[in-house]
């Protein structure tokens, strides 16, 4: 099997530079013996990128951002371009996280533009998709996910791409999607793709206590972790899963 295992943390709007440095000192010491089969990514706030990038030299953690704009430069107050990210050592960028879709007007169209710009600059985008509780209860999960994938991926290459299935009702709630159900939906996502080797992650209340069960699922190639990536011991517990 060619699919890469990727364990990614999403710090969201948490951690100043000093808090980030403190985290890394503790975290790096705890993942020394993590099996080689997995890539570890930290998606940190923009202000932490440079300092985290320096502290990563010589170890296996990869740096990620939480968003990327589609233009190279311009009058886009508050946005950041792919080349600004790659220059400080960023390899991955989350695109279309549900919090961006819900609170900041992100649509499948803007997601699509961001994905293409990220790839054009050599960044690997992590495309997030997921349904709300109402959509799930109304039996619309598959259709919502298929639309997000189809519309998001128009013209997007599938060889430098990661997808994260994050049911919105499971994010930050402590309520994890049953791993068999996450596996099923990820299978639906995989059926939409032309490249069978795309890494597809699960995200939503992943913690040290449920990581092994999640990673034991045949379709799940990694996780995108919010809350539990903020404490070094918790995130190390996830990275070191058996
Ligand atoms: P959570 O967040 O792990 O805190 O549920 C996941 C995410 O939003 O990526």
* pLDDT exceeds 60 at position 239: yes
Distant-in-sequence, close-in-space partners of 137: CB < 8 Å, separation ≥ 6: none
From ligand 1's centre to the CA of 32, what distance in Å?
Answer: 24
Tokens 């699919």 belong to residue? 3
* Pocket test residue of 205, 230, 235 for ligand 1, highest count of atoms within 8 A of CB: 205
Quickly state the pLDDT bin for 230 (edges 50, 70, 90).
Answer: very high
Tens of pLDDT, residue by residue over 83-123, are 999 999 999 999 999 999 999 999 999 999 999 999 999 99
CA of 119 to the centre of ligand 1 (A): 24
* Residues near ligand 1 (Cβ within 6 A): 10, 166, 171-172, 203-206, 224-228
Residue of the nearest CA to atom 6 in ligand 1? 226
How many A from CA of 100 to the centre of ligand 1?
A: 13
Q: What is the pLDDT of residues 101-112, one digit of tens each?
A: 999 999 999 999
Closest residue by Cα to atom 2, ligand 1, is 226
> Which of residues 176 and 192 earns the better pLDDT score?
192
Position 59 scores a pLDDT of 79
| 173 SS3 class | coil
Atom of ligand 1 nearest to the CA of 224: 9
Give the span between the Cα atoms of 166 and 160, in whole angstroms.
20
pLDDT tens-digit series, residues 3-55? 999 999 999 999 999 999 999 999 999 999 999 999 999 999 999 999 999 98
pLDDT tens per residue across span 126-162: 999 999 999 999 999 999 999 999 999 999 999 999 9
Determine the atom of ligand 1 nearest the C-alpha atom of 170: 5
Higher-pLDDT residue of 58 and 130 is 130
Query: Given a cut of 80, is residue 184 above it in pLDDT?
Result: yes
Catalytic residues: 97, 166
pLDDT value at residue 139:
97
Percent of the chain with pLDDT over 70: 100
Cβ atoms of 65 and 92 closer than 8 Å: yes
Instruction: Give the pLDDT confidence score for residue 60 in this predicted structure.
Output: 84
State the pLDDT at residue 87.
Answer: 97
Q: What is the pLDDT of residue 2?
A: 83
Neighbours of 193 (CB within 10 A): 15
Distance 187 CA to ligand 1 centre (A): 21
Closest ligand 1 atom to 225 CA: 3
State the pLDDT at residue 58: 76
Q: What is the DSSP letter of 227?
A: G
User: What pLDDT, on a 0 to 100 scale, did the predictor assign at position 21?
Assistant: 96
Residue bearing the CA closest to ligand 1, atom 3: 226
- Spatial neighbors of 87 by CB under 8 A, at least 6 apart, are none
**Phi, psi torsion values for 188, nearest 5 degrees:** -65, -40
**Interval 176-191 mean pLDDT:** 96
pLDDT bin (cut points 50, 70, 90) of residue 174 is confident
Pocket of ligand 1, candidates 203, 223, 228: which has the most ligand atoms within 8 Å of its Cβ, to mutate? 203
pLDDT at 219 over 60: yes
Q: 119 near 160, Cβ under 8 Å?
A: yes
Q: What is the pLDDT of residue 1?
A: 54
Distance from Cα 27 to the centre of ligand 1, integer Å? 19
């Amino acid at each position: 099997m060619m699919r890469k295992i990727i364990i990614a943390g999403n710090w969201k709007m948490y951690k100043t530079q000093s808090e980030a440095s403190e985290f890394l000192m503790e975290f790096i010491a705890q993942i020394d013996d993590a099996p080689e089969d997995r890539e570890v990514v930290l998606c940190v706030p923009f202000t932490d990128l440079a300092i985290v990038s320096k502290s990563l030299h010589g170890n296996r953690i990869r740096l990620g951002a939480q968003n990327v704009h589609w233009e190279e430069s311009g009058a886009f107050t508050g946005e950041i371009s792919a080349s600004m990210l790659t220059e400080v050592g960023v390899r991955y960028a989350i695109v279309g996280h549900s919090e961006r879709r819900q609170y900041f007007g992100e649509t499948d169209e803007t997601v699509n533009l961001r994905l293409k710009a990220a790839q054009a600059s050599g960044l690997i985008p992590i495309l997030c998709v997921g349904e709300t509780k109402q959509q799930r209860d109304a039996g619309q999960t598959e259709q919502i996910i298929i639309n997000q994938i189809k519309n998001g991926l128009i013209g997007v290459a599938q060889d430098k791409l990661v997808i994260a299935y994050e049911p919105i009702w499971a994010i930050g709630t402590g309520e994890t999607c049953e791993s068999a159900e996450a596996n099923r939906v990820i299978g639906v996502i995989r059926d939409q793709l032309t490249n069978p080797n795309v890494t597809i992650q699960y995200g939503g209340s992943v913690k040290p206590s449920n990581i092994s069960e999640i990673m034991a699922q045949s379709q799940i190639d990694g996780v995108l972790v919010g809350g539990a990536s903020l404490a070094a011991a918790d995130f190390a517990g996830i990275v070191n899963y058996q």
